[in-house]
Structure 1
Amino acid sequence: MVLMSKIKNLRKVLSAITASALVIGGIGLNSAVVPEMNTVSAATAGDLNTDDSVNIADVVLLQQYLLNKAEISADVNADLTGDGKVNVFDFVQLKRNVIDSMGTVEPEPEPTENTIVLADAGITFTGTGAILSDDLKTITISEPGTYIVTGEMTGGQIVVDVDKTTYVDGEVELSLEGMSLTNTADSPIYVASIDGECIITAKKNTENTVSDGTSYTNADEGEGAIYACDDLKIKGKGTLNVNGNCGDGIVCKNDLKVFNGTVNVTAVDDGLRGKDSVKIGDADDTEFDNLNVTIKTSAGDGIKSNATDEGNGVVTVNGGTVNIDAYSDGIHAYQELNVNGGSIDIETTESKDSGSSKGLKSGYTDDTTGEVITGVVNVNGGYVNANTNDDCINSNGDINILGGQLELTSKGSTSGYQGIHADNSVTLGTDGGAYEDFQLVVYNAYEGIEAMNIYQKSGSTVITSADDAFNVAGGADNSGSTGGWPGQGGTSSGGAGELVISGGFSIISVQDGDHDGYDSNGTLSITGGIAITNGQEPFDCDGGVSYTGGVYIKDTGSGGMGGGGMMPGGGSTSMTESVNASCSITAGTRVTLCDGSGNIIVSFIADKNVSSLIAGCTAYSGASFYTGGELSGSTYFQELDDTQLAAYGGTLTGGTAVSGSSGGTTNPWG
């Protein structure tokens, strides 16, 4: 079609040139006599520029010659009619010769529609690029193109086997338009070879089902209802149901993409497994309303990428709705797990004592060889709700919570069940960020966040835990640190880790007893932000401690450590106290810290009965605590947990001053 278009355009150009030449001929300026000693050679006739070819350039040159605007060195080559003159008739003949030299171009054939119809009696195929087996049970696609699949069949197989050398970057699209394919002896859809990618499209308003058997191995010695040795993409506006009754549901040994459509996967082992990578949602898309992925596994992970070579083993969620009910881990990336958008709900059921049952997990250790692959979890946006029988988020490397909303519940109440655990560092937010950067709520866990280093830089964090809420201990699930105050049990030997609060908001509540709000086996620094503890032992630090900015509040009940005072080990000084008030506050009461002008510094709900309120807020003068009252013009840090609607800014109307604060017995501003 492209060649024919070029010829048409060339003819238009030559026609315009001819019209111009005919006008010239009408005024008699186009005739020249050819010397008699010259004769025309068939090999050179029309080659006016002597470049050994005759083409449109010669036609243009002859036109210019007839207009007396150009000279030609081979006049004899221009006398195509052989009448001894060079005029418009030679021009017309030259134009015809140029067009004829291009030959006759046959129109390109219309594309043939390739249709695969499934039936128990056998597969019917119309089109080109595929062949049927003798028993009509298997169709093998060997050429790129789109293949429409309809009908229902048990015992059939669709194989994609396209030679990568012959068809570089070739793609095959299986357009599923209301089909059902079951094979109990093999993978019903098997992609053996494709240089580009195999695309499976579930067409709009159609439901399509692919199911395998309970015991078999395919040609790659693997199992999977949809199994691809090369890149695989799932898309469409219809529904694709996949039943992996033997092992995995959808397997891709390279890159697996699920870009849109409704995809329901039930599997014995892993639901989606892309060895090199799994990507949910196209990063270039802005709307993901048509992307819904539901996965249920009875013995494996929901989504997994298990490559160990550098740069692979990556799972990325860019958008869509993802619901996972997994026996083992919800999403496991051996090297990198990225949540950039979308809505993810994860439920895991396997007991932590018998295996791994985490929500988001990155990293891998080979128990046989001892090989360790260090992973990272990055949450940059979206929504994550994890209800797990293990850690909600786990990495043997780093975890970075930089955006989005997270609601985490670890169902275990004994040591080792954490909301977030990293063997190295957990970073919450970014330097100079805002309270609104992310919202993180840990509703239940033995420990809220545990890592070798914890950095709260921005965002808003709410944690309820049985033991330590922030625990700088380090190591693989190194829970239950015994570090403590001198004379209070435990040790004060110090450690290498650090807990740094430089921005953002965090409010935590721990059980009464030997449980710490902010616990560091190394150092603890507060340089900015707001940190609030509800519990008997607010801060516990084995190494040095420093408070140089921001706001901290310790609200403790009876039996607390010295009324909530800070007594770090290692000879460090205690934290500066701006307000120290005795009180008798019942759980569920709003507590507000205002500056000397009545502006709200921070307001929160007391999770426990409180007998002592201590605050460090050196940037504010005349600060006082108040209970009760109504907030006006305030901004809530988060609204995921409606039992802890902490806020900042605005003013307080009503309320009662807490004894020991500087504001008297009533709120003087409202």
Structure 2
Amino acid sequence: MKKTIYTMLLASLFLASCSQSSSSNKTSNTETSNSSSQTSNSTSEELANYYGKYEEEDLSTEYDETTATKITLDEEPVINGNGATAEGETVTISEEGTYVLSGTLSDGQLIINASKEAKIHLIFNGVSITNTSGSAVNIQQAEKVILTLADNKTNNLKDGENYSFAENETEPDATLYSKEDLTINGTGTLKVNGNYSNGIRSKDDLVLVSGTYEVTAKNNAIKGKDSVSIRNGNYNLNTTEGDAIQANNTEDETKGYVAIDGGTFEISSGRDGIQAETNTTLQNAEMTIKTADGANSQTINTNESYKGIKAGNQVKISSGTYSIDSADDSIHSNNTFELTGGTITAKTGDDGIHADNELTISAGVVDIQQSYEGIESAVINFKDGQTKIVASDDGVNAGGGNDTSQENGKFGADSFGGAPDESDDSKQITISGGTLSVNSEGDGLDSNGNITMSGGTVTVDGPTNGGNGALDYGGTFDVSGGSLVAAGASGMAQTVSDSSTQGTIAITFDSVQSAGTLISIKNSSGDTVVTYQPAKIYQTIVISTKELITGDTYSIVSGGTANTEPQNGLFDTGSETTGTELGSFTLSENTASVSQSGETISMSQMAGPGGR
């Protein structure tokens, strides 16, 4: 029989218990890794837990040895079976079936040109194909092609720098090219050199289930027009002028997505690392991405895109580890970003994480080690997780603002609409949980509109120059819970709004305080309410905590030491501290501003428009 045998889980379990002889003539490349995502068989319920689109036949590597056509590639290919022909070093498969290929074409091509209803199963069992004037593999027509990489076998595909086309034709344009749905599975290795343009390309859905991939391409390494779904595998992707992984359907909002459910990735890209026209969804992956020469890239074209992970609609990450060193934004969405788990480490020449409309961190770890602006969106929500930001301009920015300098932000200011010099209630930072640590040369927390804090722990080591503030907002900053410590320069300093229901004190010192100098607040019993160790010089500090009670008297203590270790500069409540008492104050209302001696002073709650 010529039709490929795809085994479903329940059927395989039943047959295994009934008859061993029935499987004696079958060959299986099914993976036996301890990782459940590397196994070939799966139930429909399991498939529903993936972001990618997989069918059970995509996961099967089994085939019938007795009915498969064997093809030995050579100067004169040898075909044992039906459905394939050879002319010189060009092998053409024209019928549905399973084809086991091995050997070498030194300057030839494998063509798939079957009926539109035909399903083709290719087994690459040590294949090497070079075509100096076109694609090594050209899938012209079939319903679907499944390519299995045989166990412990390495396969090589290579094209030339120039293709020979018919008049007015520009395709195929990839070393492994498919007009149809293409799935690759198995545990073998596929090495692809795309010297002309793309490495692996499907003009429909591209599914990569497993295997090891080494792709070097002038343009895109892996490209699926309708979608790219990656379930597992090992990927080493290198491009000079294109993206590492791309889905580019712009005509259907249900397509044009990249979905990654696992695997390890080493990406070095001449443009974006991952680019999807609609959604990029990621889980369970271990990924390292470098675009151009990384965050410190000097010779780049600012009209091009060098982002780490990018999507036209949504970027969502639910688990995995992602280390990104990007010339442009490390993560960028033209609509929304959501983190529900996983770890992101980023160095960038522009924004750490950017979403045009809404950005939410609900869990996980974000460590932005170098950026122009750390986190930027119109609406930003911190619900949980651990976020740490180092920025040469604003740390957290809701609104984009009027920053037009390209000296540090190589790609210029992002626009969110609205005038930067006016308050805009549609711009919002909401903090309800988690930890947020910001070290910024510009504003620490910056909103063109409002900031709301009801929980979590926020520390800000803000600007040392008087033109920015640790806090900067255009509307209100209401605090009802959590712990806030924001230190920075005094020139544009703001405290929280009077409408806040949690005790807050803003202290301005007579002179600039040295970096590392402890500042402590103690209650009338001498117990330490809060101790902070700013990482940079500062002259103003804003402190809000539930331990600050209206009507109580507190002392301001500078310097000394503490008997515990800080987390992001903040010591545990109740830590024993030494130091010099500078003054004291009574918190007569929920919010107060005082000098270092404790005298009431005026501090602006509207120092200027947010978003600067």
- The bucket for the TM-score relative to the shorter chain is 0.7 to 0.9
1:211-610 matches, cutoff 5 A: 211-216=158-163, 221-281=171-231, 291-308=233-250, 309-349=252-292, 351=300, 353-363=302-312, 375-411=313-349, 417-429=350-362, 437-474=363-400, 478-479=413-414, 491-511=421-441, 515-536=442-463, 537-556=469-488, 559-561=489-491, 564-566=493-495, 576-578=503-505, 580=507, 586-587=514-515, 606-610=534-538
239-248 or 582-591: which moved more? 582-591
1:320 Cα shift? Answer: 1.1
Does structure 2 conserve the Cα–Cα contact (< 8 Å) formed by 1:424 and 1:453? yes
Uncovered stretches (5+) of structure 2, i.e. residues with no partner: 2-17, 19-63, 293-298, 402-410, 464-468, 586-612
Higher alpha-carbon Rg: 1
Does structure 2 conserve the Cα–Cα contact (< 8 Å) formed by 1:464 and 1:510? yes
Matches of 2:527 and 2:134, distance apart in 1: 70
Matches of 2:240 and 2:108, distance apart in 1: 26
- The 3 A distance-change label for structure 1 pair 598 and 111 is farther
1:655 Cα shift? Answer: 6.0
Matches of 1:596 and 1:345, distance apart in 2: 52
What TM-score does the superposition give when structure 2 sets the normalisation length? 0.72
- The 3 A distance-change label for structure 1 pair 465 and 156 is same
| 2:123 alignment counterpart | 175
1:396 Cα shift? Answer: 1.2
Choose from 141, 144, 147 the match for 1:193: 141
- The 3 A distance-change label for structure 1 pair 455 and 145 is same
- The 3 A distance-change label for structure 1 pair 116 and 647 is farther
Counterpart AA for 1:426: L
Counterpart AA for 2:192: V
1:46-195 matches, cutoff 5 A: 111-119=66-74, 121-133=75-87, 136-165=88-117, 167=118, 170=119, 172-195=120-143
What secondary structure is seen at the aligned counterpart in 2 of 1:561? coil
Matches of 2:532 and 2:418, distance apart in 1: 29
Does structure 2 conserve the Cα–Cα contact (< 8 Å) formed by 1:323 and 1:345? yes
What secondary structure is seen at the aligned counterpart in 1 of 2:393? coil
Does structure 2 conserve the Cα–Cα contact (< 8 Å) formed by 1:407 and 1:442? yes
- The 3 A distance-change label for structure 1 pair 266 and 385 is same
Does structure 2 conserve the Cα–Cα contact (< 8 Å) formed by 1:600 and 1:648? no
Matches of 1:389 and 1:142, distance apart in 2: 46
What secondary structure is seen at the aligned counterpart in 2 of 1:607? coil
Deviations 1:499-538 (A, max 9, x none): 1112211110111xxx211111111111221221111411
What secondary structure is seen at the aligned counterpart in 1 of 2:180? coil
1:307 Cα shift? Answer: 0.8
- The 3 A distance-change label for structure 1 pair 647 and 608 is closer
Matches of 2:431 and 2:478, distance apart in 1: 10
Counterpart AA for 2:504: E
- The 3 A distance-change label for structure 1 pair 474 and 205 is same
Higher relative contact order (CA 8 A, sep 6+): 2
Counterpart AA for 2:271: S
Deviations 1:298-350 (A, max 9, x none): 11111000112121011011111111111111100000001112111111117
Does structure 2 conserve the Cα–Cα contact (< 8 Å) formed by 1:211 and 1:245? yes
- The 3 A distance-change label for structure 1 pair 605 and 327 is farther
Deviations 1:540-577 (A, max 9, x none): 11122211221211122xx4237x44277xx9789841
Matches of 1:530 and 1:201, distance apart in 2: 50
Does structure 2 conserve the Cα–Cα contact (< 8 Å) formed by 1:578 and 1:618? no
Does structure 2 conserve the Cα–Cα contact (< 8 Å) formed by 1:601 and 1:648? no
- The 3 A distance-change label for structure 1 pair 391 and 352 is farther
Matches of 1:148 and 1:590, distance apart in 2: 71
1:654 Cα shift? Answer: 6.3
Matches of 2:255 and 2:426, distance apart in 1: 31
Matches of 2:285 and 2:530, distance apart in 1: 31
Matches of 2:358 and 2:267, distance apart in 1: 27
Does structure 2 conserve the Cα–Cα contact (< 8 Å) formed by 1:212 and 1:246? yes
> Which of the pair is proportionally richer in helix?
1
Does structure 2 conserve the Cα–Cα contact (< 8 Å) formed by 1:267 and 1:297? yes
| Aligned-residue RMSD, C-alpha | 3.6
Does structure 1 conserve the Cα–Cα contact (< 8 Å) formed by 2:504 and 2:548? no
598-607 or 122-131: which moved more? 598-607
1:587 Cα shift? Answer: 3.5
Uncovered stretches (5+) of structure 1, i.e. residues with no partner: 2-8, 10-108, 283-290, 364-374, 412-416, 430-436, 485-489, 637-643, 663-670
Does structure 2 conserve the Cα–Cα contact (< 8 Å) formed by 1:535 and 1:555? yes
- The 3 A distance-change label for structure 1 pair 399 and 126 is same
1:156 Cα shift? Answer: 1.5
Counterpart AA for 1:530: T
Matches of 1:601 and 1:145, distance apart in 2: 75
Matches of 2:123 and 2:146, distance apart in 1: 8
Matches of 2:209 and 2:115, distance apart in 1: 26
1:480 Cα shift? Answer: 9.4
Matches of 1:483 and 1:651, distance apart in 2: 45
- The 3 A distance-change label for structure 1 pair 220 and 161 is farther
Matches of 1:552 and 1:117, distance apart in 2: 70
- The 3 A distance-change label for structure 1 pair 463 and 600 is farther
What secondary structure is seen at the aligned counterpart in 2 of 1:307? coil
Counterpart AA for 1:607: A
- The 3 A distance-change label for structure 1 pair 265 and 467 is same
Matches of 1:540 and 1:467, distance apart in 2: 13
Matches of 1:601 and 1:439, distance apart in 2: 28
What TM-score does the superposition give when structure 1 sets the normalisation length? 0.66
Aligned pairs, how many? Answer: 494
1:362 Cα shift? Answer: 0.8
Does structure 2 conserve the Cα–Cα contact (< 8 Å) formed by 1:483 and 1:542? no
1:146 Cα shift? Answer: 2.8
